[in-house]
Amino acid sequence: MIEARQLQADETLAAPPGQFRSGSPVEAVTTAVVVSVDLLLPNKTNVLPYLAGTEPAPPRYARAMLMFGNAREPYMQEWMVGPLPISSQTKAQPLTFLSTRKSDNKLRVYNSDFEAARKFNEKIKSQAANAIKTLWNVNPDALSMTTVSPTQVDSGNVTVWQGFIGSPSGRYDTGTLLPLGLYVKSNMTGRDPSKWKIEGWLYNNIFYKTTDEFNKALS
């Protein structure tokens, strides 16, 4: 029953004339998509009269997470869909009663363009190829990168720290157990990848302000 209601909610969000469609976060870069759908627990104020036997059971709603990648400042937001099952009364609207946020429960997303981030990571690894070869005698493609959370946002500037890890060699390997102690600091402000830049490297407790300085230290 829960799965059926979730499917109905997903179809309601995706069906025309709705403004959303089912998809992945990758597709959400240029549109608004439904990332996940779950069953929403009723509000306590609606449940208490039902438990007291003075009101019928409250209507059921679905809880959907939407990714608005087409906004100038991308964000994620939870919406509620109902009442279920689908009828002429069913509608989708922002879910706000669960949150104390004042901005319609919107969560700003600073890394919505996953493909651009992937290409930027390739650029980072290629610029450190000599150092990587010196340290571990491997090509850059043999290593993976993981973002250190949380992302730092200060006066509109987005600073991202990433750590290098050994790529898993088998299905039971885990990247969190394979850190290499090399970190890179990048400024990834805005949605234009051409303006992103490397701002430093950290290795063996020494911070190098430029890629050239880092490579020279290990040459």
pLDDT digit string, tens, across residues 68-81: 887 778 888 999 99
How, if at all, do strands 32-40 and 143-154 pair?
Answer: unpaired
- Upper half-sphere CA count for residue 172 (Cβ side, 13 Å): 0
pLDDT at 203: 95
Confidence of residue 155 (pLDDT cuts 50, 70, 90): confident
CA distances from 163 to 45, 66, 150, 175, 178 (A): 46, 29, 13, 11, 10
Lowest-pLDDT range of 19-28, 103-112, 113-122: 19-28
The most confident of 68-72, 87-91, 109-113, by mean pLDDT: 87-91
Give every strand in the sheet of 179-187, ordered side by side: 143-154, 157-166, 179-187, 197-203, 206-208
Q: Is the dihedral of CA 219, 204, 209, 125 positive or negative?
A: positive
Confidence check: pLDDT of 104 > 80: no
pLDDT at 20: 53
Confidence check: pLDDT of 7 > 70: no
pLDDT at 150: 84
Select the more confidently predicted residue: 174 or 148. 148
Helix 129-136 with 114-127: angle, nearest 10 deg: 70
Rounded Cα gap, residues 157 and 187, in angstroms: 7
pLDDT at 100: 72
Which ranges of 18-173 would DSSP assign to H, the alpha helix? Answer: 44-51, 114-127, 129-136
Mention every residue, 6+ apart, whose C-beta is less than 8 A from residue 70. 28, 29, 30, 31, 32
> Model confidence over 113-138: pLDDT tens digits?
888 889 999 999 999 898 999 999 98
Percent of the chain clearing pLDDT 70 (strictly above): 82
Rounded Cα gap, residues 88 and 72, in angstroms: 33
- The mean pLDDT of 77-97, rounded to a whole number, is 90
Q: Is the pTM of this model over 0.75?
A: no
> Model confidence over 161-216: pLDDT tens digits?
999 988 777 777 666 667 889 999 999 998 888 999 999 999 999 999 999 999 88
Mention every residue, 6+ apart, whose C-beta is less than 8 A from residue 94. 77, 78, 79, 80, 104, 105
pLDDT at 204: 93
- 3-state SS, residue 195: helix
pLDDT, averaged across the chain? 82
